[in-house]
Structure 1
Amino acid sequence: MNSQMPNGYAIEVERLVTHYGPRKILDDVNFTARQGEIMVIMGGSGSGKSTLLRHLLGLHRPTSGSIKLLGQDITKLSADQMFDLRKNMGVAFQGGALFNSMTVGENVELPLREHTRLDDNTIRIMSRMKLEVVNLAGFEDMMPAELSGGMIKRAALARAIVMDPKLLFFDEPSAGLDPVVSAELDELILTLRDAMNMTIVVVTHELESAFKIADRITVLDQGRILMSDTAAAVRASEHPRIRSLLDRTPRNDAVNPDEYLERLTREIIRA
Structure 2
Amino acid sequence: MTIPDSPLPIPASAEPIIDVRGLDAWYGRRQVLHGVDFSVAPGEIRVVMGGSGSGKSTLLRHLIGLQKPRAGAVRLLGTDLARAGARELLALRRRIGVSFQGGALFTSMTVGDNVALPLREHTRLDENTIRIMSRLKLEVVNLGGFQDLMPSQLSGGMVKRAALARAIVMDPRLMFFDEPSAGLDPVVSAELDELILQLRDAMRMTIVVVTHELESAFKIADTITVLDHGRVLMTGTMAQVRASDNERIQDLLNRRPREVEVDVDAYLRRLTEEEA
TM-score by length of 1: 0.95
User: Superposition pairs for residues 1-271 of structure 1, below 5 Å?
Assistant: 7-265=14-272, 268-271=273-276
Indicate if the aligned counterparts of 1:16 and 1:28 stay in contact, CA closer than 8 A. yes
Aligned sequence identity (%): 68
Indicate if the aligned counterparts of 1:19 and 1:62 stay in contact, CA closer than 8 A. no
| Structure 1 residue 144, shift from structure 2 partner | 0.5
Aligned to 1:99, what secondary structure does the other structure show?
coil
| Structure 1 residue 19, shift from structure 2 partner | 1.0
Distance in 1 separating the partners of 2:202 and 2:188: 21
Distance in 1 separating the partners of 2:191 and 2:141: 10
Aligned to 1:76, what secondary structure does the other structure show?
coil
| Structure 1 residue 6, shift from structure 2 partner | 5.0
Structure 1 runs of 4+ with >4 Å offset: none
- Structure 2's unaligned 5+ residue stretches are 1-11
Judged with a 3 Å threshold, the aligned counterparts in structure 2 of structure 1 residues 263 and 195 are, in CA distance, closer, same or farther, namely same
Aligned to 1:106, what secondary structure does the other structure show?
helix
The amino acid across from 1:25 in the alignment is V
Indicate if the aligned counterparts of 2:13 and 2:42 stay in contact, CA closer than 8 A. no
Distance in 1 separating the partners of 2:59 and 2:52: 13
Corresponding residue of 2:6:
none
Distance in 2 separating the partners of 1:25 and 1:45: 12
Cα displacement string for residues 147-181 of structure 1 (whole angstroms, at most 9, x for unaligned residues): 00000000000000000001101100000000000
State which drifts further: 177-186 or 31-40.
Answer: 31-40
| Structure 1 residue 73, shift from structure 2 partner | 1.0
Greater per-residue helix proportion: 1
Q: Aligned pair count?
A: 266
| Structure 1 residue 74, shift from structure 2 partner | 1.0
TM-score by length of 2: 0.93
Aligned to 2:17, what secondary structure does the other structure show?
strand
User: Over aligned residues, Cα RMSD in angstroms?
Assistant: 1.4
